[in-house]
Structure 1
Amino acid sequence: MRVGVVILPEYRWWVAEPKWRAAEELGFSHAWTYDHLGWRTLVDGPWFSAVPTLTAAAAVTSRIRLGTLVASPVFRHPVPFAREVLTLDDLSDGRLNLGLGSGGTGSYDTTAIGGQDLTPQQRTQRFGEFVELLDLLLTRDKTTWKGEHFVAEEARGYPGCVQRPRVPFVVAADGPKAMNIAARYGTGWITTGSRRLENPSYEDWWRGVAQVTKRFNEELASINRAKGTIDRYLNLDSAPVYSLSSVEAFQDAAGRARELGFTDLIVHWPRSEGVYFGHETVLEQVAGDVFPGLADSEIRG
């Protein structure tokens, strides 16, 4: 199993840079940042853009993979975004994972640009167009497209990505239609667990993770895609218990995720207060004591 870490884009670079360097030095396999205009309870605090942040992170690291968690069509158009993705893949020397998601309802990303909320069906349809068009833009020299939500007119894609045929798409999906998009286009699939439960207990959350995993396996089977051909990422901090609240909490979560067949875990860098509150000493201990065992663990799903 591999472990990745999210470093929220809330720090001035002189504070953020050591965290990105440390993520690589501590042995994380991938590091991510949120691609939002602002986020939930932190919307009135400091916040920086994802692509420039990842560009700077690429310049101070050399091995760790870097990614968006997640880019969405809420405020991005595939044509200019494809150019940013292509450039970031080049600057990182092929270390980019492109995390993609449909975007939430009633989010600051929508209201900040004067957008209107879409129905779940409309949102998923827009997301499907977004992913399909991005795929074309990143794999073709020239793309013309006309959909309900996006248009591209002879959009150029030269010279293409460093990674071939394009950067890996890691698609966030908890519902059946989004899962179909992940199954068709994803190198990886990300889940936060079942969204059908409000304020679930820890055990309820894990039962929800098992349910969405079963549904995703069924979606793969429906298009005749083998289970082992797509990486599976679990956002551990969607659970009621923060994954780095203690070494024991992380070990328990990692063991449960392994049993469900997840190849990758995602945690969040501890913050000094509020959401993801924790201590960097726990993160360092987990990296030093637990990571070596995870690298040798067997995925049972």
Structure 2
Amino acid sequence: MRTGIVILPEHRWWIAEPKWRAAEEYGFHHAWTYDHLGWRTLVDGPWFGAVPTLTAAAMVTERIRLGTFVASPNFRHPVPFARELLALDDISDGRFTLGVGAGGEGYDTEVLGTTPPAQAERTARFGEFVELLDELLTKDRTTWRGEHYAAVDARSAPGGVQRPRMPFLVAANGPKALGIAARHGQGWVTTGPRTDDVDAWWRGVADLAERFTAAQRGTGRRVDRYLNLDSSPVYSLTSVETFRDAVGRAEELGFTDVVVHWPRHDGVYAGRESVLEELAADVLPALG
């Protein structure tokens, strides 16, 4: 079982830098940050861009994989975004994973003055977003046209450090998005269902895992499975015992990776950093 941690991009770098260094020192396999213009209850607080944050993180770490958790079409176009991704892949020396998702309603769409698309349109747009990024990151030149995006002779020199391209981690819960993950993802990540019932959440996660297995049939592809533990009604770093239990249940359901969030002082993901330190000392080494 591999473990990852999300460090929200809400701190000035002199505060954030030690967290990214510590994530590597603690033994996490991957570290992530959110790619939003503003996020839910934290929208009025400090918030920084994902790409420069990950670039800085790449400069102060050596081994840990880094990624977006997750980028979406809400405010990005694949052509300029591909250039930023190539730079991140280069600066991190091939340690970057592109996490992508369909995006939802909220500040990311409202701040641009546009009407959020309906679910069906959002999923269709997401399919094009992933397909075009795949083309841009694997070919020297790309001409492509869809309903939502287009590229005309887009260049991608010098190409990525990772070949044929950086791995994609595709967030998916619905049937069409699961199909996108099965076709294009090197990893699939789920948040499980929305519920306040912990047991119902785990049953929903089990159901999604079965659905993803069905979506994979016939593809001939191996896709790693990531679970966002903190989408559960119980924060995974409430205690070491809570984390151990969640990891065990995820492993039983066939997940290869779990992702948690760095404890915050209050509000969402509120917790104690002492729990994180205890995990690093006693739990993460045993997980390999």
Alignment match, 2:199: 203
What secondary structure sits across from 2:169 in the alignment?
strand
Alignment match, 1:123: 122
Post-superposition offset of 1:107: 1.2
Post-superposition offset of 1:293: 2.2
Instruction: Map 1:289-300 to 2 at 5 A.
Output: 289-295=282-288
Alignment match, 2:19: 19
The two structures, once aligned, show a CA RMSD in angstroms of 0.8
What secondary structure sits across from 2:170 in the alignment?
strand
- Summarize deviations over 1:147-192 as a string: whole Å, max 9, x none: 1101111000111100000000000000110000000000000000
The answer on 1:213 being equivalent to 2:209 is yes
What secondary structure sits across from 1:127 in the alignment?
helix
| TM-score for both structures, normalised by structure 1 | 0.94
Provide the identity percentage.
68
Alignment match, 1:150: 149
Instruction: Map 1:3-82 to 2 at 5 A.
Output: 3-82=3-82
| In structure 2, C-alpha distance between the alignment counterparts of 1:224 and 1:277, rounded to whole Å | 40
Query: Contact conserved, 1:138 with 1:160, CA < 8 A, in 2?
Result: yes
Alignment match, 1:257: 250
| In structure 1, C-alpha distance between the alignment counterparts of 2:280 and 2:238, rounded to whole Å | 14
Post-superposition offset of 1:224: 3.4
Alignment match, 1:95: 95
Which residue identity does 1:125 align to in structure 2? A
Alignment match, 1:109: 108
What secondary structure sits across from 1:18 in the alignment?
helix
| TM-score for both structures, normalised by structure 2 | 0.99
Structure 2 residue runs of 5 or longer lacking an equivalent are none
| In structure 2, C-alpha distance between the alignment counterparts of 1:171 and 1:224, rounded to whole Å | 16
- Partner residue of 2:223 out of 195, 214, 230: 230
Query: Contact conserved, 2:2 with 2:29, CA < 8 A, in 1?
Result: yes
Pairs aligned (count) = 288
